[in-house]
Amino acid sequence: MDLRNIFDKTEVLLVLAIILGLIIGLKARISIDIPLGIVMFFSIRPFFRHKFDFKKKYKFIILSVLLNYVLLSGVYVLLSSIFFGQINFYLIGFLIVACVPPAIAIVPFCYLTKCDPETADASLFSAFVLGIFLMPLSLFLLFGENIDMLLLLRVMLIIIIIPGIFAYLLRDRKSKVFNYTKSITNICLALVLFIAVSVNREVFFTLNRNVLLSYFISFLAIFGTGLIVYFIAKLNFEKSEAINFSLYASQKNVGTAIAIALLIFNPVVAVPAVIALVVQFLYFLVFERIVLKN
């Protein structure tokens, strides 16, 4: 079997990453910002190669961004505040998840579920431009001097800003490497998932109250918000747009949240984001089958 065919299978690689992460426990902290930056580069580059009709799509773009930054973020803040009550590492973890932009994986997920790629690409670009200002501002308002803004800037540079600049500069560059965009993106996503699960593998075998609440909050926020938005949107929009809205209402860039938690806070703070990362992937597997079946 051609290796490229294997690497093109998003579901296979991500399931394998979870299994290996649960089996292999990494002791040292391994940076995940570089593979996330690579995913950002390959995911956002197509945006700069096409001319989008923003006048035609602006309502869908605005709605997609609002679903992620307002609805999904609001659900995370509300649920975590209710169930944890007082400030602790887990509540901090969910607040960080609420502050990050949409998941970079929305773009490859969009193509797999046959959503509207034009809306997905333009919304992702708009959300990340907005996130350059919103994320540090919201984190500073929440945590004040407790957050190292220089470290946060480093994370943003590697994951968002530098990949975006290179994606623009190389938008028309002809190279065989771009023929493997999907494979490279899948490998990097799988690597991030493997590292995130592996360094926190004991979490998935622990049944204390905080961990169980983290699972509950993640499932409720991701599955609840994503599916409700999808079925309501189907009544008012084309199916391709409803799929896009569901992805934006369920997928946060939790890789960035994990990087922020590990670099700036405490490893335990990363636990909610790690759980959310796995639950987001599980949601996509279920959602893909719902969409394609219908």
The string of pLDDT tens digits covering residues 11-68 is 788 788 888 888 887 766 677 788 888 888 887 787 777 666 667 778 889 999 999 9
**How confident is the model over 112-126, as a mean pLDDT?**
81
Instruction: Determine contact, residues 75/93, Cβ cutoff 8 Å.
Output: no
d(CA 201, CA 194): 10
d(CA 16, CA 215): 21
pLDDT band with cut points at 50, 70 and 90 for residue 272: very high
Give the pLDDT confidence score for residue 198 in this predicted structure.
84
HSE, side-chain direction, 13 A CA sphere, residue 89? 15
Higher-scoring residue by pLDDT: 44, 77: 77
Output the six-digit token pair for 32: 């995940």
d(CA 234, CA 114): 14
Q: For residue 294, is pLDDT > 70?
A: no
pLDDT band with cut points at 50, 70 and 90 for residue 249: very high
**How confident is the model over 82-111, as a mean pLDDT?**
88
Higher-scoring residue by pLDDT: 240, 250: 250
Q: Tell me which amino acid residue 265 is.
A: F
pLDDT band with cut points at 50, 70 and 90 for residue 189: confident
Give the pLDDT confidence score for residue 196 in this predicted structure.
78
pLDDT tens for each residue of 131-145: 889 999 999 998 887
Instruction: Determine contact, residues 281/204, Cβ cutoff 8 Å.
Output: no
How far lies 135's CA from each of 96, 145, 215, in Å? 9, 15, 24
Classify 114 in phi/psi space as left (phi over 0), alpha (psi -120 to 50) or beta. left
CB atoms within 10 A of CB 40: 28
Output the six-digit token pair for 97: 């998840």
Q: For residue 73, is pLDDT > 90?
A: yes
Q: For 38-52, 64-78, 154-168, which range has the lowest pLDDT when averaged over its residues? A: 38-52
Give the pLDDT confidence score for residue 28 in this predicted structure.
63
Output the six-digit token pair for 19: 């299994």
| Residue 102 backbone phi and psi in degrees, to 5 | -65, 160
Q: For residue 192, is pLDDT > 70?
A: yes
Which pTM was predicted? 0.86
DSSP annotation string for 116-162: -HHHHHHHHHHHHHHHHHHHHHHHHHHHGGGS-HHHHHHHHIIIIIH
